[in-house]
Amino acid sequence: MPLMGEDEAVSTARRLLKLREVEQPRLQRIADYMAGKHASVYVPAGARAEYRWLIERAKVKILPLVVTVVSQNMYVDGYRPKGADDNASPWQVWQANRLDARQHGVHRAALTYGAAYVVVMPGKPVPVITPFSPRRLTALYADPVNDEWPIYAIEDRLENTAKGQRRVVRVYDDQARYTLVGNVDGSGLKLGENGVMRHDLGVCPVVRFVNTDDLDGDGVIGEVEPLIDAQDQLNMTTFNLLMAQQYAAFRQRWVTGMAPPQDDDGNPIEPFRSRVDGLFVAEDADTKFGEFSQTDLKGYLDSREATIRHISTLSQVPPYHLLGQMVNLSAEALAAARDGLDRKIDERESLFGEGWEQALRLAGLAAGDQGAWEDTQAQVVWRDTSARSLAQTVDALGKLVTMLGVPPQELWEKIPGVTQTDVERWKTTAEQGDSLGRLNGIIEKQMSQLEPAPAAAAAEPVADVVL
């Protein structure tokens, strides 16, 4: 495909920007709920400021925790060719791009919105891998279900300059990246200085990460969107709880046998303002005082807990993560409680793992390593984050060594908290120890050959011979 000219690049950018506008409202709604900007509960006309004050505080931000619990259990720890113990060459590109830390942004975006992207471009000294949220980048596929690479991708952002803000739009295809600049509203787009960067990779250098594998083509769904209604329900229950605490948990008092005072216009006014530190006093002997019983808050608390448990069921996040309750759970009970979460993490690692493998293959191609690009059997290695005690894990690994004959070094990376760097250092130390042992054996053998033979034993006494 030949490079696009400026007019074609601008027209392509405008067409892709219109396609982006379709999905942005949905993504913005999800972003608002993640930031705590939830839909308000019903507000009657003429509501007092105190009522509105309670509404602002009746928000329980539980959706970010649903994403965090899954994301914190996902960590790419290596990229291995088939049958090899050491990482493949694209892993150096991974390290140079600080993806040990930046990978979590990709995972969180994919879990939150249903999709995330990384862009791989040639660079010096190594290719550049840049993660993107779907709110900043959109990819266009001929077949969104089965195609590995998109036809086009468009990046849209605002950039600060000395003269103020400007809009920067980048279009990617299988030959180059086109950088267009214009006004904040998108008008006046034109190629910027050095606006065309060739990559000549033969594919659009954008890799998509999806939260679910959608075979119907209806669009991917993240973890947040299905829980928005439950979040609204939780906020409503919390608001009712706060209202009950504010107005009904405090015992309301009543008074009879007293003529209400009047204002200057002769209108009756409330004789007392009920408050915690207030006292009712009347001069009339016929006046009687009393109080209503307070509202029981247990029903509201139980309802709120039931909603949180419902969210836990829908998201497969164990209830103790969302409720903060964990009382005397045995190892078996903890494993059973995490079973759904572990199955979910396994599925997400399978989906995201394919994305990282595709990105690292492309990084190999961008670095000029044709072998890494053609290696379709290399796999990413995920860190084991299962909730098990160290003693339990070591005991199980020890049995694998003694009972099944598994080499100990192959199990080091299964130890919780051990990084790939730790494993490589241990292997180096072990190899050095083996080398020193062999060297010491050779030296001992040589020394034994150089030592003189032991002195002959003293001759036995000979008996006297009598002639």
pLDDT digits (tens, 9 = 90+) for 103-134: 999 999 999 999 999 999 999 899 999 999 99
CA nearest to 356, candidates 52, 96, 118: 118
* 385 band by pLDDT with thresholds 50, 70 and 90: confident
- Cα→Cα distances 288→53, 251, 268, 282, Å: 34, 16, 19, 9
Question: Residue 160: helix, strand or coil by DSSP?
Answer: strand
The span from the CA of 270 to the CA of 60, in Å, is 36
Question: Residue 342: helix, strand or coil by DSSP?
Answer: helix
Query: Is residue 109 a contact partner of residue 133, using CB atoms and an 8 Å limit?
Result: yes
Q: Average pLDDT over the chain, rounded to whole? A: 85
* 467 band by pLDDT with thresholds 50, 70 and 90: very low
Mean pLDDT of 126-154: 95
pLDDT at 250: 66
Q: Which is more confident, 457 or 251? A: 251
Query: Is residue 164 a contact partner of residue 374, using CB atoms and an 8 Å limit?
Result: no
In this structure, what token pair is assigned to residue 94?
């991974």
The answer on pLDDT for 187 being more than 80 is yes
